[in-house]
Every structure is written in structure tokens, then in C-alpha cells.
């Protein structure tokens, strides 16, 4: 083979690899994987047996198809009884809530599922007026915004508890804490939140929604059974042997980033989320919805 031919062959190989990887990245970042789990607990009452909970997290104002039609289709296909949204519907610098509210509108008009919601750190970047307007719009679509109080979900004569923490940074905003990183994993944060929460009574099955998965050590100390969380974006780049490259607040090689975690009789499901802010690309880490089926 002549020298020029060799060079052309090498260039063609490199271009093929680049094109293939580019196409793969597009697929990785624009298709949604529904991860289905079965969660069993003897405390789950009869009427909640086989209940389907769809977890949506970290949309960050991303659109999958026009008007988020592809995302809506995936949500409808999952046939959820309840939808839990674990924060960051908005991107980190969003003041425009259109994409987020269009999704909620689509969910509430196409599904009869009750929707429970907690803020993430991105919603905390809205000013007070914008946050109040956003909350009012969510409420108008029937979304239950959880704000640190235990609530009851009733079904067929049975009930379970649901609790949602505001984003850790909300407590800092309301009560003059320093930035939440100082508090996320400390006794002081636990005691601060605990002092302000309605105390649970009885031993009903209890679920917790909270945006920051890195606070699992704190959540475990509350009287909750099943925790739903996000914020880690699946570790952004997935590595071999079930590792991940990076998650906010946890840094490189995070402990919590996706899937199911068990400790101390508590189970936490972490969503890999749907969107990414600032043009960061996910690698080997598809956008994700978690679907958890409860079993008694």
C-alpha cells in the first residue's frame, strides 16, 4: 500500500470512530431508560401492594422531543399510580419555567396519578417571587409540594406516610445557614431539620423524598423506610465495575449515584436523572426514570 493510501485509511478509521461515538453520545443523552425495581416490605399495607411509583428527577428543563412528547410517552407507558419528582425540574440558571410546567401539565392531563414533589438546589436559585409563582403553578396542576411535614396517602382504606425535605439549601436560605455543603452530612443539619419536622406517629410505612442522595447517612436516622433521591446525574460518566466518575457535592468516584442502596433497614433509590446543565454530556449513562413496584 502506498504511503498516501495508508494515511487516508487511518483518517477514515479515526473519522468512523468519531462519528460512531458522536452518534452513541446523542443516543445516550436523548433516549430514556426506565429502570424497574421491586421493593418488598411487610409494612406495606394490602391496598398498596403492587402500586407503581414513577420517579422523575433532574429534568433541568431538558426536552425530549417537541413539548417533551417522548418523555411523556415513557411516563404514560409506565402506568404509574403515583409520580414522585425529586427536584431540579429547572436548570441551574433557569428563570424560565416553561419546559418544567409543560411537563407537569402533560402529566396531569394524561395520567390520573397523584404527583408529589420536592425542590432541588436549582429551584432554590429562583428569587422569592419567582419561586412563589412556580409553586403556585405546580399546585394549580394538582402537585403536592412536600415541605418537611409528614403527609398521609390514602388508598382503599389503608394509608402510608410520605415526607419530603426541602432542598438543604432552602434551610440555609430560610434560617441563615451557611452554604449547605457545610451542613449536608452533619449532626447539626440533622438536628436542625428534625427539630422543625412534625414527628411521625405510629409505625406506618413511610417514604421520603429528598433531592440530595449524598445525605443518605442523615436520612437513615429518620424514621423512614424508603427514600427517593437524585442530584448525582448517575455520576455523569459511568465507569466499569459499577463505578462513576463525578457527582456534585461528592466529587470524583462518588458513593451514591444511581440505583438502589440499602443500609440500616433503609432503602434509597437514586435516579440518574434526565437532563444536564451547561452542555455537559452524559457518557455510558442514559437519561433515566425509576419505576418502583411496591410489594407487601
Q: Which parts of this chain interact with Fe ion (CB under 5 A)?
A: 88, 120-121, 231
| Residue 80 or 230 with smaller CB distance to Fe ion | 230
Residue 62 Cβ vs Fe ion, minimum distance, rounded to whole Å: 14
| Residue 80 or 87 with smaller CB distance to Fe ion | 87
Residue 173 Cβ vs Fe ion, minimum distance, rounded to whole Å: 15
Residue 182 Cβ vs Fe ion, minimum distance, rounded to whole Å: 17
| Residue 124 or 291 with smaller CB distance to Fe ion | 124
Instruction: Check: CB of residue 21 under 8 Å from CB of residue 278.
Output: no
| Residue 72 or 215 with smaller CB distance to Fe ion | 215
Residue 181 Cβ vs Fe ion, minimum distance, rounded to whole Å: 12
| Strand spans (E) along the chain | 32-40, 52-56, 82-86, 114-118, 144-145, 150-155, 158-164, 206-212, 226-230, 238-239, 243-244, 246-247, 251-252, 259-263, 266-270, 287-295
Residue with smallest beta-carbon separation from Fe ion: 231
| Residue 106 or 120 with smaller CB distance to Fe ion | 120
Instruction: Check: CB of residue 261 under 8 Å from CB of residue 193.
Output: no
Residue 269 Cβ vs Fe ion, minimum distance, rounded to whole Å: 16
| Residue 28 or 88 with smaller CB distance to Fe ion | 88
Q: Taking Cα atoms as reference points, which of 117, 102, 93, 115 lies closest to residue 71? A: 102
Q: How far apart are CA 113 and CA 75, in angstroms?
A: 10
Angle, in degrees to the nearest 10, between helices 168-175 and 187-196: 70
Residue 58 Cβ vs Fe ion, minimum distance, rounded to whole Å: 6
Name the strands in the sheet holding 206-212, side by side, starting at the edge strand that comes first in the sequence.
Answer: 150-155, 158-164, 206-212, 226-230, 266-270, 259-263
Backbone angles phi, psi at 181, to 5 degrees: -55, -30
Length of the chain: 296
Amino acid at each position: 500500500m502506498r504511503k498516501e493510501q495508508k494515511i487516508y485509511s487511518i483518517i477514515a478509521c479515526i473519522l468512523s470512530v468519531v462519528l460512531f461515538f458522536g452518534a452513541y453520545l446523542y443516543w445516550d443523552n436523548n433516549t430514556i431508560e426506565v429502570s424497574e425495581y421491586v421493593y418488598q416490605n411487610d409494612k406495606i399495607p394490602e391496598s398498596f401492594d403492587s402500586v407503581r411509583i414513577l420517579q422523575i428527577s433532574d429534568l433541568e428543563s431538558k426536552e425530549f422531543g417537541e413539548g417533551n412528547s417522548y418523555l411523556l410517552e415513557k411516563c404514560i407507558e409506565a402506568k404509574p399510580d403515583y409520580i414522585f419528582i425529586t427536584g431540579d425540574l429547572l436548570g441551574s440558571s433557569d428563570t424560565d419555567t416553561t419546559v418544567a410546567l409543560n411537563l407537569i401539565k402533560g402529566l396531569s392531563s394524561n395520567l390520573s396519578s397523584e404527583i408529589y414533589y420536592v425542590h432541588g438546589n436549582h429551584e432554590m436559585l429562583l428569587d422569592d417571587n419567582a419561586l412563589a409563582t412556580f409553586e403556585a403553578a405546580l399546585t394549580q396542576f394538582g402537585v403536592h409540594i412536600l415541605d418537611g411535614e409528614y403527609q398521609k396517602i390514602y388508598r382503599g382504606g389503608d394509608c402510608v406516610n410520605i415526607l419530603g425535605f426541602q432542598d438543604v439549601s432552602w434551610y440555609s436560605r430560610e434560617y441563615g445557614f451557611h452554604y449547605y455543603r457545610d451542613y449536608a452530612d452533619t449532626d447539626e443539619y440533622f438536628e436542625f431539620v428534625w427539630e422543625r419536622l412534625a414527628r411521625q406517629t405510629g409505625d406506618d410505612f413511610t417514604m421520603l423524598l429528598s433531592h440530595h442522595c449524598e445525605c443518605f447517612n442523615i436520612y437513615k436516622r429518620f424514621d423512614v423506610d424508603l427514600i427517593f433521591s437524585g442530584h448525582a446525574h448517575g455520576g455523569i460518566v459511568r465507569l466499569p465495575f459499577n463505578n462513576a466518575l463525578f457527582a456534585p457535592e461528592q466529587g470524583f468516584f462518588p458513593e451514591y449515584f444511581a440505583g438502589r442502596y440499602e443500609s440500616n433497614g433503609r432503602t434509597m433509590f437514586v435516579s440518574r436523572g434526565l437532563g444536564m446543565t451547561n452542555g455537559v454530556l452524559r457518557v455510558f449513562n442514559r437519561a433515566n426514570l425509576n419505576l418502583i413496584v411496591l410489594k407487601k
